[in-house]
Amino acid sequence: GRNIPRVLSMMQCIESHNDCQQEDNSEKSPIIISVELEKPNSDLLDLLPYADVAFISKEFAGSRGYRNMSDSIRNIGMEIKSG
């Protein structure tokens, strides 16, 4: 399994790095963060605010009570990073 607190710490570090580059008007591309929510573990939702791209499995969505893709997007979409 994933060490979610450790992954969260790494994602926060990358976000901080990207923010500093943006403030410095750097021409470097930001690091893109992706996360896969596969196994039914609600702690994985803590990672969503830091992810630029999220892959959500049918199993994970079903464990949250979502019956289809639209339900998943509507509900999990509220947790994701804006932009």
Q: What is the pLDDT of residue 27?
A: 83
pTM of the predicted structure, to 2 decimals: 0.82
Q: What is the pLDDT of residue 79?
A: 76
Please check whether residue 51 is in contact with residue 34, taking contact to mean a CB–CB distance below 8 angstroms.
Answer: yes
Q: What distances in angstroms separate CA 67 from CA 59, 77, 81, one per listed residue?
A: 10, 15, 23
Please check whether residue 47 is in contact with residue 7, taking contact to mean a CB–CB distance below 8 angstroms.
Answer: yes
Q: What is the pLDDT of residue 59?
A: 96
Q: What distances in angstroms separate CA 3 from CA 28, 30, 41, 63, one per listed residue?
A: 29, 24, 12, 20
Query: pLDDT under 70 in the chain at which residues?
Result: 1, 83
